[in-house]
């Protein structure tokens, strides 16, 4: 199989916001309790109750931002339940995720502590569904106010005299669903009410956008009606929203199971993933009608693979195979290619839930193939996204009687000073591809150094287990300066490659 990849060095798309490599952690299953927080008295090594092994692993992939406390959980979360002495915190019911008892031991202070340990900016999702503008403005004041207000003093009494400076605040989660099944116009009116009371804190606010699964909702009901209502009798220039959140999970009946899938199911899953690009174009185009200067950023604050093995009863736990790693790679490439449109993206979720970076079982911990993709891709953060043209064969497959196809190769490119960073994925199950790599520039390009790492695994169904935690991990490839000069790079079957070229 032959592929031609042209990187147009002179055609700059925009700066890759590091936040597109963001994460999401919810009070769901074993994400927070057991996955991140084990308590100070645990036999599992921890820092103030937070697992040391998870912190060390996450720091390595430079997580820029972490969204919390949900998800659906956010619209039933009352922040005061999670502050003060832990033994005095109320026990509440996690109504969305199995009706389990929430002891509130991981609250605002513990979340900020975790973010600081891993080096991520906190992103807090406010409660709109069952909360109030007062509860929201008080939470922001508690976190961010530096003066002598009663709430700021209370934060000090609880151990943090300095403000947390939380920049990102979501105005509810999935308001079209578990946030209260709102109508987009009613939600837009509510957002204006919230903004009236929180805009004075100069924070970055993110309103709930559409559900990517439903194209009709996506284009008409939610985006257009939200913005139409938002602008009515309102001064967006004074009380703006800064971000608008789209959720799009890769799932569907034709994708098979987490580790058990056929070849057509494998390709169907990746083809469905590639639809993320259409969602971004459609939502941004609809937003552009109201926000032509793109002052409001498109935030994809929940995305990832969701297999049938992940259900409420097991806390949305699923295995994470090489196929999931390719899902991550395809999505991240889309975000990098659309750096002018996507300002943040948060994979769901960090530990033990859905497309997790990390899985834990008591004191054991492993990193997943998807984690390795984040490690491979981190050099894109803050680079300048470049136009990339990929000319490759289409892979045809049959799914439920339908003839479908998907391009064999996907990728993205970014530039930092004189270093080009290129990520390329060959999804073919059995064929490697030889890439004719063209670096198109008005300047003469003299390649000085080239290094590459790749992730593939022995089979697309392979995954890291507690018995074999390193079954899938990246390795250096033999790609050299000569290969790049000769314009010849090989991508093995079902592999993700990250190539750094210095000139
Ligand atoms: O990530 C799991 C759930 O998926 C979130 O709680 C919700 O927002 C979404 O539907």
- CB of 197 within 8 A of CB of 135? no
User: Which of 30, 35, 303, 348 has the most ligand 1 atoms within 8 A of CB, as the residue to mutate?
Assistant: 348
- What pLDDT is recorded for position 181? 95
CATH 3.20.20.80, the chain: domain bounds: 17-381
Catalytic residue among 102, 190, 229, 302: 302
The catalytic residue among 174, 190, 319, 379 is 174
Cα separation of 276 and 273, whole Å?
A: 6
> What is the C-alpha to C-alpha distance for residues 16 and 9, in angstroms, rounded to an integer?
15
Indicate the pTM of the whole model: 0.97
Q: If we measure between CA atoms, which residue out of 451, 358, 433, 429 comes closest to residue 390?
A: 433
Return the CATH architecture of domain 2-7+386-502: Sandwich (2.60)
Q: How far apart are the first and last CA of the chain?
A: 28
Tell me if residue 225 is catalytic. Answer: no
User: What share of residues in the chain are helix, strand, coil (percent, to 5)?
Assistant: 30, 30, 40
Question: Among this protein's residues, is 313 annotated catalytic?
Answer: no
Tell how far the Cα of 441 is from the centroid of ligand 1, in angstroms: 44
CA dist 321 and 455 (Å) reads: 12
* Distance in Å, CA 359 to ligand 1 centroid: 18
- Report the DSSP beta bridge partners of residue 206: 170, 243
Each residue's pLDDT, cut to its tens digit, for the chain (503 residues) gives 999 999 999 999 999 999 999 999 999 999 999 999 999 999 999 999 999 999 999 999 999 999 999 999 999 999 999 999 999 999 999 999 999 999 999 999 999 999 999 999 999 999 999 999 999 999 999 999 998 999 999 999 999 999 999 999 999 999 999 999 999 999 999 999 999 999 989 999 999 999 887 655 555 688 999 999 999 887 777 788 999 999 999 998 999 999 999 999 999 999 999 999 999 999 999 999 999 999 999 999 999 999 999 999 999 999 999 999 999 999 999 999 999 999 999 999 999 999 999 999 999 999 999 999 999 999 999 999 999 999 999 999 999 999 999 999 999 999 999 999 999 999 999 999 999 999 999 988 899 999 999 999 899 999 999 999 999 999 999 888 888 888 899 999 999 999 999 99
Mutate to test the pocket of ligand 1, among 172, 176, 247 (most ligand atoms within 8 A of CB): 247
Does the C-beta of 302 come closer than 6 Å to ligand 1?
yes
Ligand 1 within 6 A of CB of 369: no
Phi, psi torsion values for 95, nearest 5 degrees = -65, -30
Which residue's CA is the nearest one to ligand 1's atom 5?
71
**DSSP category for residue 82:** G
* CA pair distance 428, 213, nearest whole angstrom: 26
348 lines ligand 1 (CB under 6 A): yes
Residue-wise pLDDT tens digits, 333-375: 999 999 999 999 999 999 999 999 999 999 999 999 999 999 9
Ligand 1 atom, smallest distance to 70 CA: 6
The residue ranges of DSSP E strands in 354-408, in sequence order, are 358-361, 364-367, 384-391, 394-399, 402-407
Q: What SS3 string covers 288-334? A: HHHCCCCCCEEEEEEEEECCCCCCHHHCCCCCCEHHHHHHHHHHHHH
Position 233 scores a pLDDT of 81
Report the atom number in ligand 1 closest to the C-alpha of 316. 2
Please tell me the class of the 17-381 domain. Answer: alpha beta
Beta-bridged to residue 388, according to DSSP, are: 7
The pLDDT value recorded for residue 216 is 56
- Portions of the chain given CATH number 2.60.40.1180: 2-7+386-502
pLDDT of residue 484: 84
How far, in Å, CA of 310 to CA of 259, rounded? 12
| CA pair distance 359, 371, nearest whole angstrom | 10
Count other Cβ atoms within 10 Å, centred on residue 392. 22
User: CB neighbours of 426 closer than 8 A, spacing ≥ 6?
Assistant: 3, 408, 409, 432, 433, 491, 492, 493, 494, 495, 497
73 Cα nearest atom in ligand 1: 6
- pLDDT for 219 equals 53
């Amino acid at each position: 199989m032959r592929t031609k990849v042209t990187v147009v060095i002179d055609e700059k798309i925009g700066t890759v916001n590091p936040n597109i490599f963001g994460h999401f952690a919810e009070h769901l299953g074993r994400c927070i309790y057991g996955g991140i927080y084990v308590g100070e008295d645990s036999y599992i090594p921890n820092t103030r109750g937070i697992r040391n092994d998870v912190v060390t692993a996450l720091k390595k992939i430079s997580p820029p931002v972490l969204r919390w406390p949900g998800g659906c959980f956010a619209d039933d979360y009352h922040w005061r339940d999670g502050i003060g002495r832990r033994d005095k915190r109320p026990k509440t019911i996690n109504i969305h995720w199995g009706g389990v008892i929430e002891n509130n031991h991981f609250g605002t202070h513990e979340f900020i502590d975790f973010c600081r340990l891993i080096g991520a900016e906190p992103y807090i999702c406010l409660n709109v569904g069952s909360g109030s503008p007062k509860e929201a403005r008080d939470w922001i004041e508690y976190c961010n106010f530096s003066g002598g207000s009663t709430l700021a003093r209370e934060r000090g009494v609880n151990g943090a005299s300095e403000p947390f400076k939380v920049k990102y605040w979501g105005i509810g989660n999935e308001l079209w669903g578990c946030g209260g099944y709102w109508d987009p116009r009613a939600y837009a009116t509510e957002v204006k009410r919230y903004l009236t009371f929180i805009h004075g804190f100069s924070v970055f606010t993110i309103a709930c956008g559409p559900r990517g699964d439903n194209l009709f909702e996506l284009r008409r009901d939610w985006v257009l009606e939200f913005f139409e209502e938002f602008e009515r009798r309102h001064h967006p220039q004074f009380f703006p929203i800064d971000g608008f959140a789209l959720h799009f999970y890769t799932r569907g009946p034709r994708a098979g199971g987490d580790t058990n899938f056929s070849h057509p199911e494998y390709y169907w899953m990746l083809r469905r993933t590639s639809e993320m690009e259409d969602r971004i174009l459609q939502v941004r185009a609809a937003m552009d009608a109201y926000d032509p200067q793109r002052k409001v950023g498109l935030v994809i604050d929940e995305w990832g693979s969701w297999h049938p093995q992940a259900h409420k009863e097991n806390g949305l736990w699923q295995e994470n195979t090489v196929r999931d790693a390719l899902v991550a790679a395809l999505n991240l490439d889309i975000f990098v290619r659309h750096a002018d449109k996507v300002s943040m993206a948060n994979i769901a979720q960090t530990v033990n839930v859905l497309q997790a970076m990390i899985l834990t079982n008591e004191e054991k911990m492993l990193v997943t193939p998807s984690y390795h993709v984040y490690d491979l891709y981190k050099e894109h953060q803050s680079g300048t996204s470049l136009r990339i043209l990929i000319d490759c064969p289409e892979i045809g497959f049959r799914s439920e009687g339908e003839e479908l196809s998907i391009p064999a190769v996907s990728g993205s490119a970014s530039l930092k000073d004189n270093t080009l960073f290129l990520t390329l994925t060959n999804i073919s199950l059995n064929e490697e591809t030889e890439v004719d790599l063209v670096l198109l520039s008005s300047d003469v390009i003299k390649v000085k150094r080239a290094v590459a790492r790749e992730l593939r695994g022995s089979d697309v169904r392979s995954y890291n287990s507690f018995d074999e935690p390193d079954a899938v991990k990246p390795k250096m490839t033999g790609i050299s300066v000569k290969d790049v000069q000769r314009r010849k790079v090989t991508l093995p079957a079902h592999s993700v490659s990250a190539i750094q070229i210095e000139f």
